[in-house]
Amino acid sequence: MTKVYRQVFFMELRKLITYRSDFWVNFMGQTFFSLVIAYYLWESIFEQTGSDSMQGYTLQGMVFYYLMAPLIFRIQQGQGIGFASREIYDGQLSKYLLYPVDFYCYKFAGYFAYSFFYIIQLFLILFLYNCFFYDPSIYQFSLWGTIAFLIAMIEASLMFYFLFSITEFLAFWFDNIWSLGVILRFGTSFLGGGLIPLKFFPEWANQLLSYTPFPYMINFPLNSLTASIESQEFLRSFFISGAWTIGFFFVARQLWKKGQYKYTGVGI
Amino acid sequence: MIKVENLTKEFKVHTKKPGFKGSVSSLFNREYTTKEALKNFNIEIESGEIIGLIGSNGAGKTTLTKILSGIIHPTKGNVSVLGFNPWKKDNEYRKQMALIMGQKAQLWWDLPALDGFLLLKEIYQIPTKDFYDRIEFLANYLNVKEQLNIQIRRLSLGERMKVELMAALIHQPKVIFLDEPTIGLDLTAQKAVRKFIKEYRKEYKPTMILTSHYMDDIEELCPRIAIMKQGQMVYDGQISQLHDKYASNKVIELNIEGEDQQSILLNSFPEELGKIQKDGKLIQIVTPRDLVMESSKFALNCVQISDFSIKEQEIANIIEKIQNSGKLSD
């Protein structure tokens, strides 16, 4: 049966590279814009404050952060809002209900293909960054950092997938969950350090956030990549996010089971 | 093979008063109404049989198909297909069943059909040799061999329907639900799909339920039909018996040259033999079955006739009559 999910994974990858222009715009466009906006914004902030470093970030460090954070966030988001809700609304879900496969695994294989595709993009961009702006104080390749990053990234993607599934499956009960998806995405990005580094948050907020799933979505993988996380802290983060992942998995699974009774297969 | 007992399906539907005020009030106070799509519906279908499901929009045909294929759960009632309860979603059942929806695609829009088939090969665990043999057989039969490597989105509607048929049949299902398989297709494509279904049935003998609004599909493929109205069965029987049971009249068509000859017949035809009317050069007599001979004799003796035919009433008209008159099931 694993062959099915492998096939779905490769078909999604094939689909992603079918359209050449979209591939290159997606690859270069988003990264370029993130980089330019981050550079000019933080350059003027550093200039205004007259300091060389803010909360431990130099200007180059900050630009690196804003280059990586959106890429990490994109890896987690996979197919994005609507991967299940859209199919519930237009009745396309019916075809998955006819297949003798596990819908959850089938969808995750497709979701993971997107994540995999964006991980490759991240490493390519990291390589290009190192070619032109190499600074060992900001990022230096290390095997441990890369392995830790991949572990943290897989866990973060799973956690986000199950959390996102919860909102997606609410489509069985509600006529439109788009706004909920947008709020979740914005909230995750903000509380996970995608908009502002978490070091800029007050200490009490960081303490509080450490018990929530959010810092483990962007901050944790990013710190793992730059090897700026102690092994003990890594393990602690790994277990907390693991607990959240399992929790989200069970809630999503229950919603999926109950939701099917509500499904009307509209549109066929 | 397929047994449906007292099947009922209710849908709770949100209603909203018209206008802006109605939209605002529905934000705070939602009103719902319950719609019964199926009411104590019963049917039995033997192994290898094909049955045509007929009914106007909202009659419950698609709801029945969705329940039988396990997509939705019924409100109450029992269903057994191949000995399985469809909505329990047993993988063994799903491997032996297919649903073809004329308005929905299962293949991937951005990839060629062959990529989609390879995924189905894994889903249904089809051995490689069997898989390629089936592709060869189906593609040759449907004449789409050249189209298998083209993106689905670039195929014509007819070609798309053919590859969708291939996708649905590649695992050689024992039960097939066809929901309007010829919808939107041109006449040639409709004929090709019908011909294929006929041949496929001869070869594999699956049990089939066909839903269609096109009478040609039903008449050509289904010896037995079930007519549904508002979630209930109003007729279940052989299509050939429809004329005997529900068409009390036959139609005599006469081609008569010359206005004067036509007028003679129109004015002299006895009322008790049936209704007579003029339709261009053609004179039509709608007469009771037992008076066909007498009516024909009268017309032949009365005027000079260049052409003559006796026809049954159209099936579509009889079905419409049954649907409009309500419960007529035997």
Q: Tell whether A263 lies on the interface with B, counting CB pairs under 8 A.
A: yes
* Secondary structure (3-state) at B261: helix
Cα distances (angstroms) measured from residue B310 to each of A225, B34, B282, B313: 86, 48, 13, 10
Say if residues B43 and B67 touch (Cβ distance below 8 Å).
no
pLDDT digits 0-9 by tens, A158-175:
999 999 999 999 999 887
The tens-digit pLDDT sequence of chain A (268 residues) is 688 999 999 998 888 887 767 777 777 777 788 788 888 998 999 999 888 888 888 888 898 898 899 899 989 888 777 788 888 888 888 888 999 998 888 988 999 999 998 899 899 888 888 888 888 888 877 888 889 999 999 999 999 999 999 999 999 988 788 888 889 889 999 999 988 899 999 999 999 999 999 999 998 999 898 877 888 989 999 999 999 999 999 999 999 999 998 898 875 4
Residue B330 is predicted with a pLDDT of 39
Please state, in angstroms and as integers, the Cα–Cα distance from residue B177 to each residue in A118, B81, B101, B234, following that order.
40, 12, 8, 21
Selection from B97, B127, B89, B177 nearest residue A102 by Cα: B89
Q: A57: which DSSP letter?
A: B
B119 inside 8 A of chain A by CB: yes
* Pick from A3, A95, A260: CB nearest B106: A95
DSSP label at A28?
I
* Contact call for residues B35 and B10 (beta carbons, < 8 A): yes
Per the CB < 8 A criterion, the answer to whether B326 and B229 are in contact is yes
Which A positions 54-93 lie with beta carbon below 8 A of chain B? 91-92
Alpha-carbon distance of A177 to A167, in angstroms, equals 7
In this prediction, residue A170 carries a pLDDT of: 93
Q: Which member of B97, B104, B118 has the closest CB to residue A94? A: B104
Beta bridge partners of B108: none
Task: Supply the ipTM of this predicted assembly.
Answer: 0.79
Question: What are the backbone dihedrals phi and psi of residue B231, each rounded to the nearest 5 degrees, phi first?
Answer: 80, 5
- Can you state the percent helix, strand and coil of chain B, rounding each to 5? 40, 30, 30
pLDDT value at position A1? 61
Q: Which residue of A has its CA nearest to B107?
A: A95
Q: Give the pair of three-digit tokens for residue A208.
A: 């509080």
- Report in angstroms the alpha-carbon separations of A222 from A138, A258, B204, B290: 12, 36, 58, 90
Find chain A residues with C-beta within 8 A of B131's C-beta.
Answer: none
Rounded Cα gap, residues A199 and A181, in angstroms = 26
pTM: 0.81
Does B119 sit within 8 Å of A265, measured CB to CB?
no
- What are the tens digits of pLDDT across the range B5-52? 999 999 887 787 788 777 777 777 778 888 889 999 999 999 999 999
| Nearest residue on chain A to B109, alpha-carbon basis | A15
Name the stretches of chain B with pLDDT < 50: 328-330
One-letter amino acid for residue B195 of the chain: K
pLDDT at residue A268, rounded to an integer: 47
Nearest-CA distance B119 → chain A (Å):
6
Q: Which of A4, A100, A264 sits opposite B72 (nearest CB)?
A: A264
Q: Do B70 and A268 touch (CB under 8 A)?
A: no
Bridging pattern class, strands B232-238 and B76-81: unpaired
Q: Measured between CB atoms, does A98 come within 8 Å of chain B?
A: yes
Judged by CB atoms closer than 8 Å, whether chains meet at A98 and B118 is answered as no
Which residues in chain A have their CB less than 8 angstroms from residue B108's CB?
A: 11, 15
β-bridge pairing B76-81 and B2-15? antiparallel
The pLDDT assigned to B33 comes to: 86
Q: Shortest Cα distance from B82 to chain A (angstroms)?
A: 15
Please provide the DSSP assignment of A96-112 as one string: HHHSSS-HHHHHHHHHH
Quick check: A97 and B70 CB within 8 A? yes
Q: pLDDT at position B152, please?
A: 92
Long-range contacts of A49-57 (CB under 8 A, 24+ apart): A54/A200, A55/A197, A55/A199, A55/A200, A56/A199, A57/A197, A57/A199
> B116-121: long-range contacts (C-beta < 8 A, 24 or more apart)?
B116/B152, B116/B163, B116/B167, B117/B148, B117/B166, B117/B167, B117/B170, B118/A7, B119/A4, B119/A7, B119/A8, B119/A11, B120/B167, B120/B170, B120/B171, B121/B170
Cα-based angle A249, A264, B54 (whole degrees, multiple of 5) = 150
- Give pLDDT, residue B329: 43
CA B94 from chain centre, in angstroms, equals 23
- Give contacts of A94 with chain B, Cβ < 8 Å: 66, 71, 99, 101, 104
State how far residue A161 is from chain B, nearest Cα, in angstroms: 22
Residue B313 is given by DSSP the state P
Q: Can you state the angle between helices A59-77 and A103-133, rounded to 10 degrees?
A: 160
